[in-house]
Amino acid sequence: MKTFEQSEAMKRLPSQFFAKLVKKVNEISSKHDDVINLGQGNPDQPTPTHIVDKLKEAAENPVHHKYAPFAGHSFLKEAVADYYYREYGVEIDPANEVAVLGGAKTGLIELSQCLLNPEDLALVPDPGYPDYWSGVELSGASMHMMPLLEELGFHPDFSKLSEDTLKKAKLMFLNYPNNPTGAVATPTLFQDAIEIGQRHDICIVHDFAYGAIGFDGVKPLSFLQLKGAKDVGVEVMTLSKSYNMAGWRVGFVVGNKSVVRAIEQLQDHLFCSIFGGIQEAAAHALLSDQQCVTDLVATYESRRKALVEAALKAGWEVEAPRGSFFAWFPVPKNYTSEEFADILLNEARVVVAPGIGFGEYGEGFVRIGLLADEATLTEAMERIGALHLFSK
């Protein structure tokens, strides 16, 4: 059979670090039935019943058996605008400031293709979500990594960006609550980013995937709450995490009109929008009683408490995440993050994600998902503690 050479864009795509981790996990799981997988980011709870029921009802409506409007139904965009006003006090024009996505991942990759040329730079957090890299590589542009250091609260230090870098940059990715570190944003961080965007014509893209998940009574900050945010950027939100709708693939780009228009223009050539029944259920999720979200955040907070207490008891000196459903724990001295993760997998049968998979500055940490119940998280830490790695 003839083998066809891939395009240069395909060749530029980064290798999937976590594909290797999945292979290792599958090999161990084939031999043992007690593997605890805390390395993934897939919500473990079902979608709330009232949202599922709305989909069942909507699926029977013949209107949704036809093509949906390519840009998405207006009722869903209006629901997004209502949601932003109710939750954040932000006024959104649903007709011009909301683009419907087949999941936030899609939009994050499309934004680079919409806004970057090969001579341009994208400012990317390190550690960060690897699909930022994918979108930039597909566009043919280059990346300038912004280190997220623990001593700075895992916020980028914008003062380290040179004038030459800022001149070439056309896009900046931010993500709070942060994957993988669990850090949250401050008004100062966002205001500084807005000023950079205004001064250097850089589009600020805030990935707000974990926007509903904040702890200790603190509601995570939306980028769009800051004055001038819509002038220079957009926020990418998803229903995957807030409503356990990861498999439904519904997300939005909200904010700057020109960016929303570009996304919709690109998607006109790629997609026929999302099934209308799913859009109706998504609107219902945004507009209905939010007790399910409150309950979900309480679940993650309870799990966070169990995980941190068990880790400290095991001798692991860790700090609790302030948002998201991930913990970012330090690796013991004399190990790389991948070596440490391999030991935990092979000797404790506990899966964690090595920090190096999220970028150079992820080295020295592992990411642990709060995606198992308290008893399972506690058992995982007890298994790890039994290895006595922290006293060496």
Rounded distance, CA 108 to CA 106, Å?
6
Residue 9 has pLDDT above 90, yes or no: no
- The pLDDT value given to residue 325: 96
Q: Whole-angstrom Cα distance, residue 349 to residue 342?
A: 9
According to CATH, where is 3.90.1150.10 located in the chain?
A: 8-47+292-385
- pLDDT grade for 29, boundaries at 50, 70 and 90: confident
Q: Averaged over 347-369, what is the pLDDT?
A: 96
pTM here is 0.95
Which H helix or E strand runs over 125?
strand 121-126
**Where does CATH 3.40.640.10 sit in the chain?**
67-287
Q: What is the pLDDT of residue 389?
A: 93
Backbone angles phi, psi at 207, to 5 degrees: -85, 110
Q: Which helix (H) or strand (E) holds 121?
A: strand 121-126
| DSSP letter string, 182-241 | -----HHHHHHHHHHHHHHT-EEEEE-TTTT-B-TTPPPPPGGGSTTHHHHEEEEEESTT
Taking a C-beta distance cutoff of 8 angstroms, is the pair 117, 171 a contact?
no
Asked if residue 327 has pLDDT above 90, the reply is yes
As a whole number, mean pLDDT of residues 308-328 equals 97
In angstroms and rounded to an integer, the radius of gyration of the C-alpha atoms of the chain is: 21
- Mean pLDDT across the stretch 338-352? 95
Map tokens 């966070």 to a residue.
304
Does residue 282 carry a pLDDT above 60?
Answer: yes
* Amino acid 26: pLDDT: 83
Q: What is the pLDDT of residues 234-253, one digit of tens each?
A: 999 999 999 999 999 999 99
Query: Is pLDDT at 217 greater than 60 in this prediction?
Result: yes
Q: How high is the pLDDT of residue 392?
A: 57
Q: Cis omega (within 30 of 0) on the bond before 46? A: no
pLDDT digits (tens, 9 = 90+) for 166-205: 999 999 999 999 999 999 999 999 999 999 999 999 999 9
Query: So what's the pLDDT on residue 17?
Result: 72
pLDDT at 300: 97
Among 28-32, 89-93, 131-135, 350-354, whose mean pLDDT is lowest? 28-32
Average pLDDT over residues 196-219: 97
Indicate whether 261 pLDDT > 70. Answer: yes
How many residues in total does the chain contain?
A: 392
Q: What is the fold, at CATH topology level, of the domain defined by 8-47+292-385? A: Aspartate Aminotransferase, domain 1 (3.90.1150)
Q: Which of 127-131, 265-269, 372-376 has the highest mean pLDDT?
A: 372-376
Query: What's the chain's average pLDDT?
Result: 95
Class level of CATH domain 67-287? alpha beta
